[in-house]
Amino acid sequence: FPHTNRFTIFRDGAEVIRDNPEFNRYRGHVDLVFTSPPYFAKEAYSDDPTQSYKKFGLYSSWKEGFLRPTLETCVEWLKPNRYLLWNIADAKFGTDMLPLEEDSREILESLGMEYIETLKMTLAQMPGGNRLDTETGLPKAKNFVKILNDAGKEIWLKYEPIFVWKKVKT
């Protein structure tokens, strides 16, 4: 690089980082946000009470207390005409499917973001047992794609969507 890069590490939760005065100086100055928030309680990183699934025990309160403020911060800190890459997927809990993708879309549209495209980040293998439907032969996962592996064999892979959004309002 022709210049020295510098960085600051913040240890605040995504839903409250906007309250950090040091972080506030970057508001409206960010070119790209690429993040993958926890999928409510599907990704429990620790038992710490500051974890979003602990702070907001119900999905409805997590959506308003974590998801919405996190997305608001992403949008408010972006420069105009810059991008948010949002890696999130619907999450299944028992028989319920939490609509993380749709809820994120609704919030981002309400914030003036423009949807551009969905990238597919394939996983090394399809996690979980009993992966294929015996009747259709298709994967049971919501998001899947067929690819050719190195040996030229067709295989199914699960993917996580990465939604690309553009900030069009200032």
pLDDT digits (tens, 9 = 90+) for 57-90: 788 999 999 999 999 999 999 999 999 999 999 9
Q: Are 161 and 143 in contact (CB under 8 A)?
A: yes
Residue 165 confidence (pLDDT): 98
pTM > 0.85: no
Q: Are 44 and 53 in contact (CB under 8 A)?
A: yes
Task: Give per-residue pLDDT as tens, 15-53.
Answer: 999 999 999 999 999 999 999 988 776 666 667 777 776
Contacts of residue 162, Cβ cutoff 8 Å, sequence gap at least 6: 85, 86, 87, 118, 119, 120, 121
Contacts of residue 137, Cβ cutoff 8 Å, sequence gap at least 6: none
Task: Give per-residue pLDDT as tens, 83-116.
Answer: 999 999 998 877 888 899 999 999 999 999 999 9
DSSP 79-114: EEEEEEEEE---EEETTEEE-HHHHHHHHHHHTTEE
